Amino acid sequence: MIRNVARVVFLLVVLGSAQTVHAEATKPTKTDKCPVCGMFVAKYLDFLAQMVFKDQTHAFFDGAKDMFKYYFQIKKYNPKKEISDIDQIWVTDYYSLSPIDGRKAAYVIGSDVYGPMGRELIPFEKDKDAEAFLKDHAGKKIVRFQDVTPDIVQELDP
């Protein structure tokens, strides 16, 4: 009896923790394309962005700008997905080149640094890095994920 209770407790712990595990950022393959512009993203790792969905599928982007375009028009690019299906969003910190939580990042807009698709939202994990970059690269302002709007993204395209 005790052995069966121990097995049940073990299974509950394992199954319970499996439900809370989040996927981590992964590297794209040579064949992964941005669903917004069609570019092969493995060539642009310095600007890579990624969405990981709750079903563990993912989408790669050649920059935060295209990731936001996808986010704002998810049904256009993937009719089977909803915003609520997104588990994690990863962007690449401009200075460290490490994946960071896209929902917590600070984004500099209007700078003189261009990404693969032209003007870009440049992501940073640390506010002080974003502020330094803003000054050094003639940025217009720093925005947070929740403050990015379709209008901001559209203004980045010529």
DSSP 3-state assignment of 117?
coil
> Nearest 5 degrees, angle CA 72-CA 78-CA 84?
60
Closest CA to 66 of 87, 84, 88, 40: 40
**Section 105-121 average pLDDT:** 97
- Pairwise CA distance, residues 121 & 119, whole Å: 7
What is the tens place of the pLDDT at every residue in 41-92? 999 999 999 999 999 999 999 999 999 999 999 999 999 999 999 999 999 9
